[in-house]
Amino acid sequence: MAHGQGRPCVITRRACFSASHRYWLPELSEQLNIDRFGACSRAPGHGHNYELIVAMAGVLDGDGMVLNLSDVKHAIREQVTAPLDFSHLNGVWPAFDVDRPEGALPTTEWLLHTIWGRLAPHLPLRSLRLYEQPTLWADYLGNAMEAFLTIRRHFAAAHRLARPELSQAENEAIYGKCARPHGHGHNYLLDVTVRGTIEPRTGMVCDLAALERAVEELVVEPFDHTFLNKDVPFFAECVPTAENIALHIADRLQAPVAALGANLHKIRLQESPNNAAEVYAEPALV
């Protein structure tokens, strides 16, 4: 018997393809399409280098594998990359044909939902992730029309970690170098993940452009190139650790995301390559 035989395990496989798409609904006027989808409505479309992460669950067999990787590669190639690579997505599969009542735009989340439907008969899927670009990706777990959408943004800011009621020596004992009087800076990476139901016509869990505007207006613009302790009123009284910053961002975004018809799921704030904090706005789902 091989070591670990019968033990549960999750494996992942990465696959890439290049494709173009266009956001345009025939029932909307030209101006309404432009207003709704912006630059994504331009003809004949635009392209991306997509990266697909396929997670599969199973138990280890006598050969020490969950699945034969040759079979995995063949299924992904046959069902996904071969038909999609160097294609115009709107015309590839019926699910993306918006001239049909049941068709939807080939958004990241609807594309991922459709890929799941093609791979599920062949592989024991656990989850799928699809990167449309490094700052935009979706996750799908096989839950009907529910999907997760993540956008990544950046801001640069300085902070000092210190509690005003403590002495400098006491603060340095807690926060180390981060308590030095004149502060220090970071290039923060912010990931905002929302959860929602894929709208059957637009293929979106929420209006992506509106989500991007909310994050820009409520977080990036007021936080970028600031000294957080002095320029953001909230942090005059709250120590701006990565954890507290992430919590404050979640509080600022929860209502605006709900107004878009989605749920704020998670905030991830990366302070440096070595440090990051994650805050779940939906604790029941953790």
> Which residues belong to the active site?
178, 225, 271
Q: How far apart are CA 62 and CA 6, in angstroms?
A: 8
Residue 32 parent element (H or E): helix 30-37
What is the identity of the amino acid at 82? A
Q: For the chain, give me the number of helices (H) and strands (E)?
A: 9, 10
Q: How far apart are CA 148 and CA 141, in angstroms?
A: 9
Q: How far apart are CA 85 and CA 83, in angstroms?
A: 6
Collect all residues with Cβ–Cβ distance below 8 Å to 257 and sequence separation of at least 6.
194, 206, 211, 214, 263, 264
